[in-house]
Structure formats: C-alpha cells, structure tokens
Amino acid sequence: KNEVEQSPQNLTAQEGEFITINCSYSVGISALHWLQQHPGGGIVSLFMLSSGKKKHGRLIATINIQEKHSSLHITASHPRDSAVYICAVRTGNQFYFGTGTSLTVIP
Amino acid sequence: DAGVIQSPRHEVTEMGQEVTLRCKPISGHDYLFWYRQTMMRGLELLIYFNNNVPIDDSGMPEDRFSAKMPNASFSTLKIQPSEPRDSAVYFCASSGGVQGIQFFGPGTRLTVL
C-alpha cells in the first residue's frame, strides 16, 4: 500500500477549464509538497503546506489535516500547465511521494 | 542566483564502472536532497543532509551508493560499481529549512550499459 495516493493518474482538459488534482495520504505529516514536472523533465516546487490554503497566481492548494487530503486546483487552465503534478509528504525524517498526475491541457 | 547546479547533465557508462554525480546547492540553503526518478518507481528520496550532516539515508538502495557533503556548497553521489538497474534521472534539491520550498537542479540522466 502506498502512503500517498493521487487521483486521477491522467487528466485531459480543454483550455480554460477548472482542474482539480487530489492527494490522499495515510501517515501523520508535518508538511505536504506539490511539485510540477515539465515535459522536459525539470521539477519545480509549487507549494509547501502544513495547514489551510495557499494561492499563487492561478494555482490554489488546500489541505485538510483531519481528512488527510490535499487538493491542487488550477483555474483557467492553459496548455503550458501541461505537466506531471506530484504530491509529496514529510513525516519525521521520511518523505513519501505519489506517482503523479499527468495533465494535458488542449488548446 | 544560478539555482541548483548539477553535473554532468548526462552520463553514459558501462556496468561495473564508478559514477560520481555532483551538486552545488543554492547559497545559504542548509538542506540538500538527492532523489532518483525512474519510470517504474517514480521519484524516490535517497538521502538528505542538514548543514552537511546526513540526516536520513534510508532511501539509499544499497552499499554501492554513497553520498558526501564535504562543505555547504558541494555534494556528491557515488555509485560503485554501477549496474544497469541504476539507470535513472538523479535530481539534487536544496532548501532553506526542512519545511522550506525545495529548489531542484536540472537532473543528471544516467545510463548504465
């Protein structure tokens, strides 16, 4: 059983659509990270959350500690948002990673 | 700041050879992380350092892998001897604090023939 589960695994959306990617975890955590990996392979850290909600441009990340669940939302999606989005959690000295959600935004 | 710098960007070697990957973290960051990414296993944390001291190396696959951080501006990940199953992209990342946003290097694509 994976400590971190993401859904969906793959997602195709039309440009402009509102997108939600989900992450559920089974361990007590001190922080949750959302990462973005572009088709070229580069990885960018989008958010680090320990509670509540964070917003950066068109991206919003929320976390519910009691439900052990986080969501990443993209408003007004654009083809340049096409990437793999990875959820990662830290518990103690350990880090666990989801397998990623592959997002394709079609013009 | 140039960001996290990794070298080489690509490495092709033969089974049994020693491989050394290098990383220069962002100046002032006190945490450094080494990751491995494969299609089969996704992204995995191998080891991380705080102030040049290894904190957790439970992700290091076996004794063939070793990592050092002799000073705040340099770290190496060594594989000796290398095997074809070590073929992967190896990322280095650094952060200011363990809870801080991690900044990733461009990765080293390793192919072991």
pLDDT at residue B78, rounded to an integer? 98
Do residues B18 and B80 make contact, with C-beta atoms less than 8 angstroms apart? Answer: yes
Tallying the residues shown for chain B, one arrives at: 113
**CB proximity A27 to B under 8 Å:** no
- Structure confidence by residue, pLDDT tens digits, A25-79: 998 898 999 999 998 888 999 999 999 999 999 999 999 999 999 999 999 999 9
Distance from CA of A31 to the nearest CA of B (A): 7
Give B91's Cβ-side CA count (13 Å radius): 22
The rounded mean pLDDT for chain B is 94
Mean pLDDT of B23-44: 94
Q: Is the pLDDT of residue B99 over 90?
A: no
In 3D space, the residue among A70, A87, A76, A79 whose CA is nearest the CA of residue A103 turns out to be A79
CB contact under 8 A, B43 and A30: no
C-alpha B19 chain-centroid distance: 12
Q: Which residues of A touch B102 (CB under 8 A)?
A: 33, 45
pLDDT at residue B11, rounded to an integer? 97
**Residue B60 neighbours by CB under 8 Å, 6+ apart:** B46, B47, B66, B67
CB contact under 8 A, A90 and B56: no
A35-39 long-range contacts (CB < 8 A, ≥24 apart) are A35/A85, A35/A86, A35/A87, A35/A88, A35/B43, A35/B104, A36/A83, A36/A84, A36/A85, A36/A86, A37/A83, A37/A84, A37/A85, A37/A86, A37/A100, A38/A83, A39/A82, A39/A83
Q: What percent of chain B is modeled with pLDDT above 70?
A: 99
Q: Which residues of A touch B43 (CB under 8 A)?
A: 35, 86, 88, 97, 100
pLDDT at residue B98, rounded to an integer? 77
Distance from CA of A105 to the nearest CA of B (A): 22
Give A6's strand partners.
A23
Q: Distance between CA A36 and CA A48 in Å, rounded? A: 12
- Predicted confidence band of residue A92 (pLDDT cuts 50, 70, 90): confident
Distance from CA of A85 to the nearest CA of B (A): 12
